[in-house]
Structure 1
Amino acid sequence: MYKIVEKRILAPDIKWYNIYAPQVAKKARAGQFVILRIYDKGERIPLTIADYDREKGTVLVVFQEVGKTTKMLGMMQEGDELLDFVGPLGIPFELDNDIKNVVLIGGGVGIPAIYPKAKELFLEGKRKVISIIGARNKDLLIMKEEMSAFSHEFYIATDDGSEGTKGFVTTVLQDLIDKKEKMDVVIAVGPPIMMKMVARTTRPYNIYIHL
């Protein structure tokens, strides 16, 4: 069994759970995921690993309540236990050594997916990390402090202008391109329309992107 040791409500229907899973934490890397199950006949759901602490043996997952299983998961409390928590799964995303300038873009619940990569790259100290996060409004922005702490430059965009730049993450991205900011790769995770617009923004400049 895998105990929920910390629960936070980040935004409406978006929850933060730190799970005690030392064997998963021991091997976890940025870009990987877990599959969890609440009870014996429950649905198995994949969630991105948003962070991990090898010393404490914990793994962070952040999720949005969008269906029956995630709503049930969201009702659980600190001290409750999950039946299964399998991982880490997937192949960690690696960067070539010649890449020195990285732009990470996260939209909505895509932000937790880019956070571990930002943290990993920042702590390595070999690359410049620029992070851009966005949401419809300031109440839906999540993990601002965490992303800011592991970014050399940090930007926010909201559709309504309630925080940061008014517009989309691509508004900020285009501004950085116009200012001749060096970008060896752009890594983006978020809604499909956001990733499509990131690809469209970078294409004329032959900037390598990973979606």
Structure 2
Amino acid sequence: MGSKIVSKKQLTDNIYLMDIEAPRVAKSAKPGQFVIVKIDEKGERVPLTVADYDREKGTVTIVFQTVGASTKTLSLLKEGDYIRDFVGPLGQPSEFVKEDIKELKDKNIVFIAGGVGTAPVYPQVKWFKENGLDADVIIGSRTKDLVILEDEMKSVAKNVYVGTDDGSYGFNGRVTDLLKHLVQDENKKYDHAVVIGPMIMMKFMCMMTKELNIPTTVSLNTIMVDGTGMCGACRVRIGDQIKFACVDGPEFDGHLVDFDEAMRRQSMYKTQEGRALLEFEEGDTHHHSNCGCGGTK
């Protein structure tokens, strides 16, 4: 029968939140991981980051933007409807889940969320709160109407700073400007930044955190397609190594990510011709070595 949609909420014109009945996933999910959603037998596999989980109720929260046929179809489903496949948790948990709590207490962490990236930031900040840790959050959006989960974030974060590109709400400017303002004008000191959002936003934010000498983690969930390493869509260069976001990540050292190559691949992957060219250019490294397709890392 599949997994039942327990509740559904429309956050903006094209962003939706759903709570899905998935006890096994809820039981083992950790911040930073994702699920694969397949609406029906003919539907494509859609990787979505876990936005929250309730182990007692056995539910998992997903937040998604309608960008194609599959997410549009998903948005049309109602409470009580069923999703054929809801598989997970997949990917590696956030790195701080494995760190010593006492050591984390001595660090000032800032989470920086852009657009829909606010959704995967939330469970990470919630985990901090549950473990007695404080964290600041910066939420960036193009305009006021596109700001999501602000109240939820305020319930788990020490400080929440909101900025809009058009100045319609909160700080007038981009997230890079807001972080620079907090550090240089408000004398904030951060030991680590976690950045999740559109690729171009993460690129420029990493340039800013490098300038401010703040070690940075990014989540490359935005480039995942298949979720197994088989399709080659999320192949990314991290320093001098080739990695795959869906298997090795989705979190990586933001200062080592080759964002320009990742964005070029993201653009090429949209066409069949582009995918064929990437496969030709990259040879055996086009697929992950553990995907079962014969590629080597």
With the shorter chain as reference, the TM-score category is over 0.9
| Corresponding position of 1:123 | 130
**Residue 167 of structure 2 corresponds to residue 147 of structure 1:** no
Q: How does 1:187-206 map to 2 (within 5 A)?
A: 187-206=194-213
The alpha carbon displacement at 1:194 in A equals 1.1
Determine the C-alpha separation between the residues in 1 that align with 2:3 and 2:85.
7
Distance 2:36 2:151 in 1: 27
How much does 1:203 deviate?
1.0
2:210 and 2:112 map into 1 onto residues whose CA distance is 16
Aligned length: 210
Aligned partner of 1:25 in structure 2 is: 26
The separation in 2 between residues aligned to 1:158 and 1:205, in whole angstroms, is 21
State the alpha-carbon separation in 2 of the partners of residues 172 and 29 from structure 1: 29
Q: CA deviation at 1:35?
A: 0.2
Shift of residue 171, structure 1, vs aligned partner: 1.6
Structure 1 residue 176: Cα displacement: 1.5
Per-residue deviation at 1:55?
0.5
Q: 1:31-180 to 2 correspondence within 5 Å?
A: 31-95=32-96, 96-97=99-100, 98-99=103-104, 100-125=107-132, 127-178=133-184, 179-180=186-187
Q: Deviations over 1:41-90 (max 9, x none)?
A: 21111000000000000000000000010000010000000000000011
Deviates more, 1:191-200 or 1:4-13: 191-200
1:17-45, Cα deviation, whole Å (9 max, x unpaired): 00000010000110000001111121111
Residues 93-115 of structure 1 show CA distances to partners (whole Å, capped at 9, x for unaligned) of: 12243342110011111110111
Backbone CA RMSD of aligned residues: 1.0
The aligned amino acid for 2:162 is I
Partner of 2:191: 184
TM-score (norm 2): 0.69
Question: 1:202: how far off?
Answer: 1.2
AA partner of residue 110 (structure 1): G
Counterpart in 1 of 2:289?
Answer: none
The 4+ residue runs of structure 1 with deviation greater than 4 A are none
Unmatched 5+ stretches in structure 1: none
Aligned to 2:11, the other structure's residue is in SS state strand
Residues 128-182 of structure 1: CA distance to partner in whole angstroms, max 9, x if unpaired?
3000001111101110111111110110000111110011111210012113312
TM-score (normalised: structure 1): 0.97
Q: What amino acid maps onto 1:59 in structure 2?
A: V
> 2:293 aligns to what?
none
C-alpha distance in 2, partners of 1:205/1:64?
Answer: 32
Larger RCO, structures 1/2 (Cα 8 Å, 6+ apart)? 1
Give distance in 2, aligned partners of 1:28 and 1:121.
15
Displacement of 1:189 in angstroms is 0.5
CA distance in 2, matches of 1:141, 1:6: 21
What is the Cα deviation at residue 205 of structure 1? 2.7
Larger relative helix fraction: 2
- Which structure: larger Rg? 2
Residue 210 of structure 1 corresponds to: 217
